[in-house]
Amino acid sequence: MSWRQFFLDLAETVLLAVILFVGINLVSARVRVEGYSMRPTLDDGQYMLVSRLAYLRGGYQRGDVIIFRPPMHPEESLWRRLLGFPGLHDHYEDYVKRIIGLPGDTVKIENGQVFVNGQKLDEPYISEPPRYFGEWTVPDGYLFVLGDNRNDSSDSHQWNFLPQENVIGKALLVYWPLTDIMVLKSNQAAHAAP
């Protein structure tokens, strides 16, 4: 093999690797779970595969576990956020939560129960019932999201609605550590109790 052929093969291999890397990252993401807001479903240090294409045409479903850029932190002023001082945005990492309310839904939390449009949700995935209360009607273009660890989660019960444009994708499966591998199935979705 000539040097010329070797470098052409090497360039072709590198180009193919770059195309594959970019292509895979356009349709999916690998996300590390940080914190305990989604316990017991997800735990700190687990890695998930996320589909960036799941909501290309909408299709949000109650119960989906999603990854998103959080809206502005409620305790931080707009001025501080816009200035972008180093170290101020450490807590603005992507969030992982579960969709509870869709546009037009009325979500009510009272006596440790979550109701959507007057129907109590069957939620076998939560760690304990919420100790807070409130009622929200989800506007068009927004979602209402909660962590499965209801009493230790920064979510819609604190900062209201999540703009749909902030959604990065739908969590599909946990792939690391190997002992925790699981597919996040639609049967884990919140649904109205019979």
Give the whole-angstrom CA distance, residue 142 versus residue 131: 24
Q: Which residue has the tokens 């499966």?
A: 173
Which one is catalytic: 97, 153, 156, 170?
A: 97
Is the bond leading into 139 cis (omega within 30 degrees of zero)?
Answer: no
Identify the burial level of 96 via C-beta atoms within 10 angstroms of its C-beta, where 0-12 means exposed, 13-18 middle and 19 or more buried: buried
In angstroms, the CA 149 to CA 126 distance is 6
Reply yes or no on whether 108 is catalytic: no
CB of 125 closer than 8 Å to CB of 97: no
Catalytic residue among 37, 153, 156, 170: 37
Strand 106-110 relative to strand 134-137: parallel, antiparallel, unpaired? antiparallel
Residue 11 host element (H or E): helix 3-27
User: Could you confirm whether 97 is annotated as catalytic?
Assistant: yes
The b-or-e profile of 129-144 (16+ CB within 10 A means b, else e) is ebeeeeebebeeebbb
DSSP state of 35: S
Active site (catalytic) residues: 37, 97
